[in-house]
Amino acid sequence: MVCVLIRRLLDSRDAARDALHVGVVLWTLMVGRFSDPLYPDLITGFALLLVVLVPVLSRRLSWLNRLQHAVSGGSDTWAGIVVYVFSYTCLTWLFSLFPGPSLGAMASLSLGDGLGGLVGRTWGHIRYQVPWSKPRSLEGSITVAVAAITGMAILKLILPVMAHVGWFAIVVSGILAAVTEAVSPKSLDNLFLPLVVFASIYLL
């Protein structure tokens, strides 16, 4: 409902969606606290199912209809939200095997993509676009890298499972997050960005 409130106050679906992106980063602090890894897997699996069914359920449930219209439209569609939740679900399922890469990818997706979009639309002046992607700004892309690196650095400092992730890997992964977000087709940055970050942290 916070997204619905932001949509009404700012009259911007993009701002509401950015808030959703950034807010979900709290999951990185919760996923490792469950006594059984099955619980977070079930939670994210149910969330994905619900998100997939929203276009159908929103016809009967007014609160879902308000949520859908609050965060979809503008520069992105509901499909982007589905891909976003799908990525978080997959990363949660991989967490027990690869905690560092999973958390790093989550933080990069939430903070990098979320804050990058906000800065790009609000203060972006140097515009560019690859043929298959939506317009980006240099300011937004720099923010993606900085926010992703910052998010991963904070997690490294406060979560023991991130201790083995090196600083070099964090910086390189943050830069790759920005590049990937810039060249990804519309809505698919929510898939490719965490995939590239996960792979880079794992390999480095």
Output the pLDDT for position 70.
61
Residues 6+ away with beta carbon under 8 Å from 86: 48, 190, 191
**Six token digits for residue 126:** 């140097």
Report which of 184, 35, 186 is spatially closest to residue 195, judged by C-alpha positions.
Answer: 184
Provide the angle, in degrees to the nearest 10, between the axes of the packed helices 189-203 and 78-95.
20
Of 8-12, 37-41, 99-103, 120-124, the least confident: 8-12
Residue 2 has pLDDT above 70, yes or no: no
- How many angstroms separate the CA atoms of 195 and 204, rounded? 14
Task: Give the rounded distance of the alpha carbon of 119 from its chain centre.
Answer: 15
Per residue in 4-41, pLDDT (tens digit) is: 333 444 445 566 666 777 888 999 999 999 989 899 99
Q: Residue 62's pLDDT band (boundaries 50, 70, 90)?
A: confident
pTM equals 0.88
**Six token digits for residue 44:** 């994210």
